[in-house]
Amino acid sequence: MSIEGSIQTIAEVGIVPVVRASSAEEARQAVDAIHSGGIAIIEITMTVPDAPTIIREVRKHYGDKVLTGAGTVTTAKQAELCIEAGAEFLVSPGLSVTVLRAAEDAGKLAIPGALTPTEVMAALDAGAKLFKIFPCGNVGGPKYLKALRAPFPTVRFIPTGGVNLTNAADYIKAGAFALGVGADLVDLVALRNNQAKKITDMARALVDAVQLARETALAQPAALRKHSEDNRR
């Protein structure tokens, strides 16, 4: 998939589940549960033992049905290994220009991490197209994202860290392009206890929350315009 294709898929789905599985089989079970809930994206982090093998197995099993990416990618070598394994996008906790270049050379999307305005500007200068705002929940959550968007109204932010069903709508209303969701969605304890349905139900609830929040956000400007027009009559 092209870089723009990956961006479009992330935009449409609105949720990037972060999986820290202990094996390829566990990752596949997690993907099954998430996909059943309507989310066709997965991010396998490099903190998982032999993550490239898991990425390769997920890609082999799901093909283009699931947009498979690698997370916690911190070096160009890791980037190359993940892309070789079939990762369509790379996510980093911070900015690594060498990771961005490795992804660009392979025609794949790289999403660097940023938190402050200075870090966002540095990533923009390096050519980043999407930005992981991490750890967003620790510095104010949706309120922080809204404040960060003030000087960067056109930049596409994916808040990650502390994002869950309770605050998902608030993040969308604050201007999030998509949401990065970890353990609050990918509940591996539930999976290991043969309760994969909990993950599926949470995925479905998050999809509904994001869709409703987006519809509400789109409706508000129209309502404001109508109110303004009515006042001019």
Active-site residue set: 43, 132
Report phi then psi at 199, rounded to 5: -70, -45
18: amino acid identity, one letter: V
Contacts of 112 (CB under 8 A, 6+ apart): 92, 94, 95, 96, 99, 100, 123, 126, 128, 131, 132
Q: Is 15 helix (H, G, I), strand (E, B) or coil?
A: strand
The residue to which tokens 């309760």 are assigned: 195
Strand ranges (DSSP E) for the chain? 15-19, 41-45, 67-71, 89-91, 109-111, 113-114, 131-133, 157-159, 179-181
Cβ 129 vs Cβ 3: under 8 Å: yes
Q: In terms of Cα–Cα distance, which of 58, 82, 81, 66 is closest to 15?
A: 66
